[in-house]
Amino acid sequence: MRFIRPPKHSAVFLTIFCLVFVLIAGLPIIGNDNYVTAADQPLMRIIFDDTHEETNSITGEYNNAAELLNNKGYLVNKSTEIHTDLSVVLLNCDVFVVTAPHKTFLPNETQLIETFIANGGNLFLLGDYEFNSTLTASINSLSSHFGIEFDQELIEDLSNNDGRPDRPTISSFSKHPIINTTDIQDFTLYNASSVSGGTPIAFTSLDASPSNATVLTSSRLKSGKIVAIGDSDLFSNEFLEGDARNLLLNIFGWFVLDVVEIVVGVTSVVQGESVLLTIDIFSLQNRSNLFIRVSGEGFERFEEPFNITEGSNRISINIQASLIPYTFGEKTLRLLILFKPIAFNLNIVYAEEFSIIIRISAINLVIGFLIPFILILGLFLYSARIGKRKKQ
């Protein structure tokens, strides 16, 4: 009886195949995010006011900003394209933007906007410095109803600027979702004024005049939010790049996301085959679609959404050690907290770095390395032995 002999070098091919299979099987699992487009359902409807003699318009100096926001899934319009009646405009709006107006807001208009915000709408106020008081008085006729005032004083900084004292560089920030060191290191203001009231977010330097003054602030009215900044040129076509671009996206991202106000602390404990992360949250308004991403060298994944129960301020997640590339000793990972309503890919809201110690157990070492290595070595030696017999 004749046996079918295996093809020449088949044992070597089998050895290589097994080796490749083991290497691929040992790779960390990488998260796969499937995003949907914003063509049919915008993240938010943004309307730029065009009825109070605003300094900038989306058909002029804010054309690039409008295009950027549209490309990110927002729907951008100006009020005169919707209606001249403010009550009708606000019905078709999620974020109402006012850019350095020269016309005062009337009492009935401020009442409509106040009701709009209290019901979940958002207001973005952009001021500017001007020699006369017209602009300051006009924007304060609206902002003062929410405890925010624009000051009539030019910000100058002789030490920290972009070539001129009236172009101060802002790099002092409080901890806020709008600002994160991942994509905003600093930004430059152009003929700007300071603001007061609300929750301060960004400040002038100690060398500036005025010193340590607030230039960016936020506030809340029931379920709505307000952001105010003392410069509208920052987001104009000429300067909308780099950190200014990221700041604009983060501001509108905060209007959408409203996730984590402050992460108080992140602790990690290695428990056998997994790493337990405990995240303490100071304030969480929207309690759905919260994602935790842990990233590091050769490792990145999304966890499932965490739906936090009302009143809870702590999240605990387990990361399997097998999902992290095998390493000994200390490893630094980065914890990113994101919101992704209806699966849109949005900016990072908050980031926190932490170090953990991953130790590969003896069982992991035997199963993951030694056994495959012994099998491959045995197969290779066996194939070599067969080859030696054939030659004899």
Summarize pLDDT for 292-346 with one digit per residue, the tens: 666 666 555 545 455 544 445 555 666 665 555 555 555 666 666 555 544 344 4
From 257, 291, 313, give the residue that closes a domain.
257
**Do 230 and 143 share a structural domain?**
yes
**What range does the domain containing 101 cover?**
45-257
329 domain-assigned? yes
The answer to whether residues 253 and 267 belong to one domain is no
Between 327 and 388, the higher pLDDT residue: 388
d(CA 387, CA 382): 9
Same domain, yes or no: 176 and 264: no
Q: What is the pLDDT of residue 369?
A: 62
Query: Any idea what the CATH number is for the domain that residue 270 is in?
Result: 2.60.40.10
In a domain, 97, yes or no: yes
Task: Give the count of domains, the chain.
Answer: 2
CB burial of residue 136 (10 Å; 0-12, 13-18, 19+): buried
What's the pLDDT at 58? 94
The verdict on 234 and 345 lying in the same domain is no
Whether residue 148 is found in the same domain as residue 235: yes
Question: Any idea which of 223-227, 259-263, 382-386 has the lowest mean pLDDT?
Answer: 259-263
Whether the Cβ atoms of residue 51 and residue 77 lie closer than 8 Å to each other:
no
Q: Do 118 and 230 belong together in one domain?
A: yes
Residue 96 and residue 130 in one domain? yes
Name 288's Cβ contacts closer than 8 Å, sequence gap at least 6: 305, 307, 341
163 vs 158: CA distance, rounded Å:
9
- Is the residue at 12 inside a domain? no
Domain membership of residue 137 (yes or no) is yes
Name the least confident of 262-266, 275-279, 372-376: 262-266
Instruction: Tell me what percent of the residues of the chain surpass a pLDDT of 70.
Output: 58
Give the C-alpha separation, 46 to 253, whole Å. Answer: 12
Question: Is 218 part of any domain?
Answer: yes
Examine residue 328 and state whether it is found in any structural domain, yes or no.
yes
Whether 173 and 248 share a structural domain: yes
Residue 248: predicted pLDDT: 93
Q: The CATH number of the domain where 132 resides is what? A: 3.40.50.880
Q: Which of the listed residues 203, 236, 257 is the one where a domain comes to its end? A: 257
Residue 375 falls within a domain, yes or no?
Answer: no
pLDDT tens sequence across 184-220: 889 999 999 999 999 999 999 999 999 999 999 999 9
Residue type, 147: G
Q: Is residue 133 part of a domain?
A: yes
32 pLDDT higher than 50: no
In this structure, are 245 and 213 located in the same domain?
yes
CA 228/CA 61 separation, integer angstroms: 19
Residue spans of beta strands (DSSP E) within 177-329: 187-188, 193-196, 199-203, 208-209, 214-221, 224-229, 263-271, 274-281, 290-296, 299-302, 314-320
Query: Residue holding tokens 């063509």?
Result: 39
The pLDDT confidence band at residue 83, using thresholds 50, 70 and 90, is: confident
Asked if 224 and 273 sit in the same domain, the reply is no
Q: What's the one-letter identity of residue 227?
A: V
Q: Does the pLDDT value for residue 4 go beyond 50?
A: no
Return the pLDDT at 314.
59
Are 209 and 148 part of one and the same domain? yes
| pLDDT score for 74 | 87
The pTM (predicted TM-score) of the whole model is 0.64
Last residue of a domain, one of 203, 223, 257: 257
From residue 375, alpha-carbon distances to 27, 34, 342, 363 in Å are 19, 38, 47, 17
Instruction: pLDDT band for 143, please (50, 70, 90 cuts).
Output: very high
- Is 165 or 330 the better-scoring residue by pLDDT? 165
Q: Average pLDDT of the chain?
A: 75
> Does residue 134 share a domain with residue 190?
yes
